[in-house]
């Protein structure tokens, strides 16, 4: 094979290897949040909504487009001059332009409505952004702690291999029954069953994460979860700055502008028409100008009902905001209580329960090795320790989830 041919074969393989390495970049907590923001269809939709609102705000206060008109005035249809365009001095061909002019209050109100529409779209994007970050954080945390459990089962496999050797030694020395030889195998089978359940849970968690970060969810997770501080006093003090509550301020400004627009309809709009009129050659041409004004002759049945409707919309927004404030107050109290309870349970599990179970396993194993205990007690003590270590990981996961909910709802949103 010639050197040139070898280069043609090796170079594509090398590039493919580099590409696969680039695609297999580890996925940290922060990277996951950044990817979710860039790839979120929901955020792309709200960004488009903001752009649309900004574009719509440009012509909001502008005058309507002028209109051109053309026609004939005083065309005779009877008598000796009927059907003749240039016989009667009053017959005129005309062309002109018309311009409608809404009143100044209406134009200002329309500008305010359009500007508030941009604020509403931007407020909704802040709500959606924090929701995406919160859900992505929870999905990453769930997968992280499931992988922690997987690492624990690897350690359990090693412990079970040591137990197998211990049982064999006990049987060889005559201090254990031959039937004890199958117990470690049964224990290994149970561990394998639980590992299968864990693999299924990991696949589901990875699928959930893939919803937010795409194919990056298949990469290896790297790093530990960040410490999301939970300060109850700070969170309660910033409750009113929750993005969902701030969005009501933008909606209120838009509704107030719509009330002003409805009120402006009680004032007259006006218009102007300018025309050039051409007559027969024997007569002189003319120009004309005229003004038009709206007459709101029945405000009680036209403008007033619309004003009342817009004012009631303001009442609806105020009521919904109060309802959401109460709901978030309840959720905050509930999440804080859950976080405190999980913190206490986790500390107790680490500092008290697990050390006691470690001691129990050690004592039962020593008793069995000394020929004074049976293998079932050892296995029971080991299962209790396994369950406790798994429970600690579950408590850590639950605590991290609670912290993420609090942080991304009230902590990060208030910064």
Q: Find tokens 């429970």 and name the residue.
A: 391
What is the arithmetic mean of pLDDT over 12-28? 54
Q: Which of 88-102, 152-166, 271-285, 376-390 has the lowest mean pLDDT?
A: 152-166
Average pLDDT rounded to a whole number, residues 147-154: 87
Looking at residues 88-102, what average pLDDT do you find? Answer: 90
DSSP 109-170: HHHHHHHHHHHHHHHHHHHHHHHHHHHHHHHHHHHHHHHHHHHHHHHHHHHHHHHHHHHHHH
Q: Classify 228 as helix, strand or coil.
A: coil
Residue ranges of domains in the chain: 35-59+117-265+302-414, 64-101+269-298
φ, ψ for residue 311 (rounded to 5)? -65, -35
> Strand 270-278's sheet: what is its strand order?
67-73, 92-101, 270-278, 286-293
Q: Out of 20-29, 60-69, 158-167, 328-337, pick the least confident.
A: 20-29
- The whole-angstrom separation of Cα 236 and Cα 334 is 12
The pLDDT assigned to 110 comes to: 93
Which structure tokens are listed for 248? Answer: 């009501």
pLDDT band at 19; cut points 50, 70, 90: very low
What is the spatial distance between Cα 343 and Cα 235, in angstroms, rounded to a whole number?
17
Q: Where are the beta strands (DSSP E) in 67-196?
A: 67-73, 92-101
| 414 pLDDT higher than 70 | no
* Cα 58 to Cα 53: distance, rounded to the nearest angstrom: 9
Count CB neighbours of 352 within 10 A. 10
pLDDT at 17 > cutoff 80: no
Nearest to 279 by CA among 92, 75, 85: 92
**Rg for the chain, CA atoms, rounded:** 39
Whole-number pLDDT of residue 281: 83
For residue 88, is pLDDT > 80?
no
Cβ count near 106 (within 10 Å): 19
For tokens 């199958």, name the residue.
182
Does 8 have pLDDT greater than 70?
A: no
Q: What percent of the chain has pLDDT over 90?
A: 57
Is residue 23 predicted with pLDDT exceeding 60? Answer: no
What is the architecture of the domain spanning 35-59+117-265+302-414?
A: Up-down Bundle (1.20)
Q: Which residue in 247, 254, 252 sits closest to 116, CA to CA? A: 254
State residue 174 phi and psi, 5-degree precision.
80, 10
| Strand-pair partners of 288 | 275
- For the ranges 19-28, 157-166, 191-200, the lowest mean pLDDT is seen at 19-28
End-to-end Cα separation, the chain, in angstroms: 64
| Mean pLDDT, all residues of the chain | 86
| Residue 9 pLDDT greater than 70, yes or no | no
Query: Would you say residue 18 has pLDDT above 50?
Result: no
The residues near 159 (Cβ < 8 Å, ≥ 6 apart) are 382
- Mean pLDDT calculated for residue range 203-228: 92
Q: What is the pLDDT of residue 16?
A: 44
Inform me whether the pLDDT recorded for 21 exceeds 50: no
Q: Please state the pTM of the whole predicted model.
A: 0.79
Q: Give me the DSSP letters along 238-293.
A: TGGG-HHHHHHHHHHHHHHHHHHHHHHTTSPPEEEEEEEEE--TTS--EEEEEEEE
**pLDDT tens profile 285-333:** 999 999 999 988 888 888 899 999 999 999 999 999 999 999 999 999 9
- The answer, yes or no, to whether residue 175 has pLDDT greater than 80, is no
Identify which of 226, 245, 229 has the alpha carbon closest to the alpha carbon of residue 336. 229
Detail the DSSP E strand segments found in 10-121. Answer: 67-73, 92-101
Residue with tokens 């007559």: 279
Structural tokens at position 361:
């396993």
Nearest to 286 by CA among 29, 13, 55, 95: 95
DSSP-derived letter for residue 66 is: P
**What's the pLDDT score for residue 12?**
47
């Amino acid at each position: 094979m010639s050197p040139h041919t070898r280069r043609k074969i090796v170079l594509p393989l090398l590039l493919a290897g580099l590409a696969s390495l680039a695609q297999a970049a580890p996925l940290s907590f922060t990277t996951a949040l950044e990817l979710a923001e860039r790839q979120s269809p929901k955020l792309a939709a709200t960004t488009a909504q903001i752009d649309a609102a900004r574009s719509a705000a440009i012509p909001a206060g502008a005058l309507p487009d002028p209109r051109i008109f053309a026609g004939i005035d005083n065309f005779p249809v009877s008598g000796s001059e009927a059907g003749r365009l240039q016989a009667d001095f009053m017959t005129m061909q005309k062309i002109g332009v018309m311009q409608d002019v809404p009143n100044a209050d209406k134009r200002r109100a329309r500008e305010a409505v359009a500007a508030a529409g941009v604020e509403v779209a931007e407020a909704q994007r802040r709500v959606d952004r924090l929701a995406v970050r919160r859900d992505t954080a929870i999905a990453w945390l769930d997968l992280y702690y499931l992988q922690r459990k997987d690492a624990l089962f690897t350690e359990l496999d090693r412990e079970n291999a040591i137990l197998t050797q211990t049982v064999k030694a006990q049987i060889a020395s005559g201090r254990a029954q031959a039937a004890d030889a199958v117990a470690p195998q049964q224990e290994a089978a149970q561990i394998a069953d639980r590992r299968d359940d864990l693999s299924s849970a990991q696949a589901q968690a990875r699928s959930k994460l893939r919803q937010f970060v795409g194919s990056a969810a298949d990469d290896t997770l790297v790093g530990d979860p960040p410490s999301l501080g939970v300060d109850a006093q700070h969170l309660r003090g910033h409750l009113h700055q929750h993005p969902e509550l701030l969005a009501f301020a933008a909606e209120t400004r838009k509704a107030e502008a719509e009330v002003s627009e409805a009120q402006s309809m009680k004032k007259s709009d006006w218009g102007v028409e300018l025309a050039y009129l051409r007559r027969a050659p024997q007569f002189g041409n003319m120009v004309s100008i005229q003004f038009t004004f709206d007459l709101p002759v029945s405000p009680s049945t036209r403008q007033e009902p619309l004003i009342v409707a817009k004012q009631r919309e303001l009442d609806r927004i105020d009521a919904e905001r109060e309802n959401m404030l109460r709901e978030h107050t309840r959720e905050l109290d509930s999440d804080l209580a859950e976080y405190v309870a999980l913190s206490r349970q986790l500390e107790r599990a680490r500092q008290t329960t697990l050390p006691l179970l470690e001691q129990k396993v050690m004592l039962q194993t020593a008793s069995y090795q000394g020929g004074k205990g049976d293998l079932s007690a050892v296995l029971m003590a080991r299962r209790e320790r396994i369950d406790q270590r798994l429970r600690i990981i579950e408590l850590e996961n639950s605590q991290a989830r609670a912290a993420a909910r609090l942080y991304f709802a009230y902590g990060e949103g208030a910064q």
